[in-house]
Amino acid sequence: MKTVLVLVRINVSDVIKSAQWYEEILGFEVSVRYPNEKPYYIGFESKGGADFAIQEDKTYPSKGRFNFQVPNLEKLWEELKDKVTVIEELHTTPYGTTKFTIADPDGNELGFIY
C-alpha cells in the first residue's frame, strides 16, 4: 500500500507555551488554533510536506522524533545551538545528509536536515 503522509501531530504538556517556543525559537508560523478562544490544538504552516501540529495532552507526551528539511542548515544551526537543548550537533551522516537534532520543551526530538 502506498500512502502520502499529510499530518504529524505531537502531544505537549502546555500548548500555549509550546506554540510560543515553536514560533519564537524556530520561526514556525501558526495556521490554526482550535478552538480559537482557548486552544488545545495548534497547527503550523506547511510548504508542501506533511502538516505539523501540537496538541495539549498532559497525560501522554509524544516523545517522538521528526525531521524537517531546511535550505540553509548551517545558518539555522548557528542561530539555534545556544538557545535550545541539543541532542546531536551538526554532523554529516553515513548516508550522506547533514543534520542536527534538538529537543522541544517536552523532550520531543526535532531533526533538521539538508
Q: What is the CATH number of the domain that holds 91?
A: 3.10.180.10
On whether residue 1 sits in a domain, the answer given is no
Cut 0.75: pTM above it: yes
pLDDT of residue 2: 84
Which pLDDT score, from 0 to 100, does residue 81 have? 97
Q: Do 100 and 90 touch, CB atoms closer than 8 A?
A: yes
Q: Residues 34-79: pLDDT tens digits?
A: 999 999 999 999 888 889 999 999 887 778 889 999 999 999 999 9
20 to 2, 16, 28, 53: CA distances (angstroms): 35, 6, 9, 13
Q: What is the extent of the structural domain holding 40?
A: 7-113
